[in-house]
Structure 1
């Protein structure tokens, strides 16, 4: 199975191992991007991390990526219909990943926290 940016391709899997335990150690954002790959959306995720235009997501791709149960749980938490949750996530996710990968690389959780602090203080992110 292919991996998304930050975990691209077979060579990277060979270097870092393919175990779920090791993937968990790479950070939450990497886990999300890995979900893209598992859903067959590697090219789209790569576009969000790299420079250039972000490929859009469709609501059905969000469901394929997260699963129906997760969508239902999120919809219940948000008090919104599942279709609205899928549409909102499909619109927001490419932009969010782009903003969180300003150097074209997926940060680990520590780097992500530092980036969040910088953005909260009014710093700029260059977008991936």
Structure 2
């Protein structure tokens, strides 16, 4: 049992996560994440302050540099989330980063980009309920896992 499994166990408090595809909205999103620890680990690495992309602020800067600042802003704001394609997400992160993420997910870059493009908008939306990025970011990986546990408790 790895560190991530231990963290997930404590976040879930012994309850079984929803399976991918069960329920919609927040429940469906969290079910997808908690049933796929590799995806959760990759997303935590993207969004955590101590992650590879410099946290949510660093990720936002990459979106702005790629001309997609309004897309990520829609995920943070209180309006409808704009979709992003796997190809657009690869453009934002770069093909080398996407290849690394795909290896962590045990899939190819196209499938990894597709998976991430499906869950990233909703996850960022849920982690920024006030419609703003917290000044201190979303925290380190451990703090981010705690936030996800809090979201799970609200479902």
Q: State TM-score, norm by structure 2.
A: 0.56
Instruction: Name the structure 2 match of 1:17.
Output: none
> Match of 1:71?
98
CA–CA distance in structure 1, aligned partners of residues 112 and 57 of structure 2:
22
* 1:35/1:124 CA distance change after superposition, 3 Å: farther
> Is 2:48 the counterpart of 1:58?
no
Task: From the superposition, tell whether residues 79 and 114 of structure 1 become closer, same or farther in structure 2 (CA, over 3 Å).
Answer: closer
2:123 to 91, 96, 105: 96
Structure 2 gap segments, 5+ residues each: 1-48
Are positions 1:117 and 2:129 aligned together? no
Q: Quick one: structure 1 residues 123 and 73, their matched pair in 2 at CA, closer, same or farther if it must change by over 3 Å? A: same
Q: How many residues are treated as equivalent by the alignment?
A: 101
RMSD across aligned positions (CA):
2.6
2:81·2:121 contact (CA, 8 Å) conserved in 1? yes
Structure 1 residues 88-97 or 104-113, which shifts more? 104-113
Mark the CA change 1:105 to 1:116 in structure 2 (over 3 Å): closer, same or farther.
farther
Shift of 1:32: 1.1
Give SS of 2:124's match. helix
The equivalent position to 2:75 in structure 1, one of 45, 48, 66, is 48
